Amino acid sequence: MNTAFIGRAQPRVEDARLLKGQGVYVDDLHLDGMLHAAIVRSPFAHGKVLSIDTDEASAMPGVVAIYTADEIRSVRPDGAVPRIPIRLAPLPELDAFRQHVIAVDRVRFVGEALAIVVAETAAQAEDAADMVYADIDALPSVADWRSAAEGHTALFEAAGNVAKRYVASKGQVEYVQGEYRRRATLKVQRHSALTMETRGLVADWDAMQQRMTVYGAAKVPYFTRDHVADMMGLPRERVTMIELNVGGGFGVRGEFYSEDFLVPFASRQLGKPVKWIEDRRENLLSSNHSREMECDIEIVCARNGRVLALQAEVAVDAGAYMRTSAPAPSRNVAQFMSGPYDIEHVQVVSTAYLTNKTPIGTYRGPGRYEADFFRERMFDMAARDLGIDPTEFRRINLVKAHQMPYTLPSVTGPDRHEDLDSGDYQITLDHCLREIGWAQKQSLQGQLIDGLYHGLAVGCFIEGGAAGGKETARFDAHPDGMLDLYVGSANVGQGLVTILTQIAAETLAMPLSRIRVHHGSTTHLAEGFGSFHSRSTVMGGSAVLTVAEQLKALVRARAARHLACAEEAVSVGDELVCSYEGRTVTLAELAKEPLSVTGEFPSHVHTYSYGAAAAHVTVDPRTGRVSVLDYFTVEDVGRIINPLTATGQLVGASAQGLGGALLEHIAYDSDGQLITATLADYLLPTATDFPVLRAHVLENSPSPHNPLGAKGAGEGGTVPAGGVIANAISAALSSLGVEALALPLTPPAVWQLIQHAQQQTSSCSGT
Amino acid sequence: MQLSSQEIISLPQDVVWQALNDAAVLQQCIPGCEELIKQDDSHYTVKLVAAVGPVKMRMQGGLEITQSDPPNGYQLQFEGKGGAAGFAKGQASVRLTAQTPDTTLLAYEVQAQIGGKLAQVGARLIDSVAAKNAADFFESFKRVVQAPPLSEAGTAQPAGTSPVDGHANTSAAPQTRSQAVWWLVAGVSAAAAALYFIVGG
């Protein structure tokens, strides 16, 4: 039997069911006696809640209950409304900025939950929600980071508008002298993950058993379980989170939101199952936003193009509260500003400002997408100023293989040493240039052909992975020869089942069909972590590998008893068939007594995948329209478990990165009102926008920190896209003097850049 | 949003002025208006119910005339709250000029801010819709004002418009193109325009 499953282009085992429409998403769930919830959300960006009148809504048909902060307070032992926990990089000083699960006296963003209405049907709940009348005394809105910094209006009177200032540093940037210096201000717009399936939950309180079951968990079910249990005053083992099929995660789904408390709360109060499914408007309003940053950056270089120092101040528009994953983007943009490059002196100060907008969280490549845009744009401007080829500029500044492990700038809060683990970054750059046809296409650079300007750009990136400390796995063998594999990881659409089955099958020399993977639900294991920070293959996969080895040892020991021989005399063959001197015993026979093993893989070291991306674009100067003729990404992921899923992740991530570069924009007006809450306003890439997206994955540099050698992958494709596209557009329009300094580069934005550059030129020639 | 325009009305300036200060006239011209009450010379309170595409609103609020200059015009401030569905507030100014003894030029300017569902779903539409419907409003206004004698408030509906059903719930039901939310008042259709939406139309 060919047991080389790792590295095989195995089609996803998940897909047959999903493609036949047999997937079960949370809205597919219908429980007996189930009620439906709708959330009443604040129409004001900032205001004092004077009263909430629920009388008229309560009298409407089908309405069963309406809960506001008052009702929640009244049943809580401490009389307080719980607040959403911070999951990533929590610090005591961030506590002041945590959001109540339901507004208490004050609202700080449009969409903040004011009440939950429960009715017999979803339509009745929504109609009644519109009749809940909250009397809110509007306060001035802090609509951007600048007004937060000015501080005329405070979101939190005692704590101010600055949640946290992160400082990443290395060397002594203030003493660096260089022949070349350039400074610029760059901006990335607010945008975020848009999941095809909106968020939703079904909570089912079993009063007899005193047990809460919540369907619709994703990403980090154990964390959410622990906090739901604590907030409800239940032992953790009495709360069960069940993961169903998940229609897109990308960082935003599965974090702890207001509804993760409110829906179970309503179910427990009423003793009935309660379903809540958000619509698209709510989804754009209340799922975590991300990416909105402004960066004042300075680069110092030697004449030969060697970057001597990078210094930046980043203002992060963090929205109204610090929720679960809010610290990550601000922290990452500081730590990863230098990316894959060897820069001796780095200082980045990143400040998370609170504004009256939806709170931010992590979105695929958090902080890294922004950092890459800032850095790679500066690199292209510097290379052009210095007359150095942009590919050569990157080549001479990349971290070299012999420098590994390479220490990144240290960042304050929480402090932690961080090394790039392994790799030869030059290889991916060369690979990328070859694939995009850089040498052949050089003659097109900046040329106007048939009315379109052509531009080429390349950028390099790193992708961190494997956070979370450890992951757990369990194997149960059965008398029918099947193996059940239980993992703490969650399936957010990344092909988790396929990957983990491949790893288990190879380690145990077992056909894929004999392994059943169970994931994402807290019933399987006492503890687990989940899927974030590109960790499921590295941490979950290593846990499977580790526990599979433990299973083999257990099987060997039990076989020795059956075969009446010493353990070391047993030979364990394919499919865990054990033999000694011509006698054999199968796994099925050994599993007649319970055969189960649980174990974990611990690691506190992050992995760093790395790669390069390149684009060939055209720009129509009459309309500002950008066409992406070719876009290629290559990433070395340490060890490829499945080239199909790894490549698919890279292509999908590229599409999201390009969406952020060219289309997607969560816009607010100057009063903090969200004005893009439909998909007619918030533009997503469609199949026709980027017809040529290509990707390769490599495995030249295994991670030294896990038995698989795998590195986290799946987010990397988004990371370089903003910088590459902005550089390609700027290269295309270089003869006009256009420098793209802000995303997204929509047709109107590009058109205005062209107009502005032409006015500058004509006013210069006029004087 | 901002809107400024002008209309010619075939009535003497003082008649137009009176109509602009007549709560009964205004209430007839504002579909969905349940109540328009003149509190004193410069204050009105308003209640209206409107279903606008997916956004259903019950709004209540007030309007204050800040600078009255009879019969040449006034400035006003308005504010309406629709609970969780949204709100609107803003300022408007109206100038009347006699073109001939029997025709009056009415020029108006509006600045308005909208919030909640109105902004989330309607921001993209507001400028064009408001402009179009300001014109529609004036048609009703002229019809009512130019059709003496005035009937009792609430009994005459301007032709061509249908009152918005205040109790409609799933009422995304397509209505006529004049399905409208007029908040505004003081007859100043201008301000009304700020609150007027057609979603999906």
Segment A411-461, tens digit of pLDDT: 988 888 899 999 999 999 999 999 999 999 999 999 999 999 999 999 999
B contacts of A676 (beta carbons < 8 Å): 120, 123
Segment A117-144, tens digit of pLDDT: 999 999 999 999 989 999 999 999 999 9
Segment A276-322, tens digit of pLDDT: 999 999 999 999 999 999 999 999 999 999 999 999 999 999 999 99
Q: How confident is the model at residue B47 (pLDDT cuts 50, 70, 90)?
A: confident
A484 pLDDT exceeds 60? yes
Q: How confident is the model at residue B33 (pLDDT cuts 50, 70, 90)?
A: confident
Distance CA A89, CA A166 (A): 11
Helix (H, G, I), strand (E, B) or coil at A257: coil
Omega before A621 within 30 of 0, i.e. cis: no
Contact state of B115 with A43 under an 8 Å Cβ cutoff:
yes
Instruction: Tell me the mean pLDDT in the region A486-513.
Output: 94
A45 Cβ under 8 Å from any chain B Cβ: yes
- Smallest CA-to-CA distance from A536 within A587, A571, A490 is with A490
Q: How confident is the model at residue B32 (pLDDT cuts 50, 70, 90)?
A: low
Segment B114-144, tens digit of pLDDT: 888 888 887 777 676 666 666 666 777 888 8
A103 pLDDT exceeds 50? yes
Site from B118, B120, B181 to mutate, A interface, most A CB atoms within 10 angstroms: B120
Q: How confident is the model at residue B52 (pLDDT cuts 50, 70, 90)?
A: low
Contact state of B83 with A134 under an 8 Å Cβ cutoff:
yes
The predicted structure's pLDDT at residue A397:
98
- Say if CB B193 and CB B137 are below 8 A apart: yes
Contact state of B84 with A42 under an 8 Å Cβ cutoff:
yes
A55 Cβ under 8 Å from any chain B Cβ: no
Contact state of A675 with B117 under an 8 Å Cβ cutoff:
no
A43 Cβ under 8 Å from any chain B Cβ: yes
**ipTM score assigned to the predicted complex:** 0.81
The secondary structure element, H or E, covering residue A125 is helix A122-130
Distance CA A556, CA A570 (A): 6
pLDDT > 70 in chain A, percent: 99
* Among the ranges given (A128-132, A393-397, B90-94, B152-156), the one the predictor scored with the smallest mean pLDDT: B152-156
Instruction: Tell me the mean pLDDT in the region A21-50.
Output: 97
Chain B: residue whose CA lies nearest to A670: B113
The predicted structure's pLDDT at residue A233:
95
A477 pLDDT exceeds 60? yes
A contacts of B85 (beta carbons < 8 Å): 43, 130
Q: Report which of residues B88 and B147 the model is more confident about.
A: B88
Instruction: Tell me the mean pLDDT in the region B88-108.
Output: 91
Q: What is the DSSP letter of A400?
A: P
Instruction: Tell me the mean pLDDT in the region A5-11.
Output: 96
The predicted structure's pLDDT at residue B117:
87
The predicted structure's pLDDT at residue A269:
98
B25 pLDDT exceeds 90? no
A contacts of B120 (beta carbons < 8 Å): 110, 281, 284-285, 673-678
The predicted structure's pLDDT at residue B163:
34
Contact state of A130 with B85 under an 8 Å Cβ cutoff:
yes
Helix (H, G, I), strand (E, B) or coil at A469: coil
Q: How confident is the model at residue B53 (pLDDT cuts 50, 70, 90)?
A: low
Contact state of B84 with A134 under an 8 Å Cβ cutoff:
yes
The predicted structure's pLDDT at residue A530:
86
Q: How confident is the model at residue A533 (pLDDT cuts 50, 70, 90)?
A: confident
Token couple for A455: 């531009």
Segment A688-708, tens digit of pLDDT: 999 999 999 999 999 999 999
The predicted structure's pLDDT at residue A594:
95
The predicted structure's pLDDT at residue B178:
28
Q: What is the DSSP letter of A191?
A: B
The predicted structure's pLDDT at residue B195:
40
B185 pLDDT exceeds 60? no
The predicted structure's pLDDT at residue A258:
98
Distance CA A46, CA A665 (A): 22
B194 pLDDT exceeds 60? no
- Mean pLDDT, rounded, of chain A: 96
Burial of A667 (0-12, 13-18, 19+ CB in 10 A): middle
A496 pLDDT exceeds 50? yes
Distance CA A439, CA A433 (A): 8
- Measure B104 CA to nearest chain A CA, in Å: 37
B170 pLDDT exceeds 60? no
A173 pLDDT exceeds 90? yes
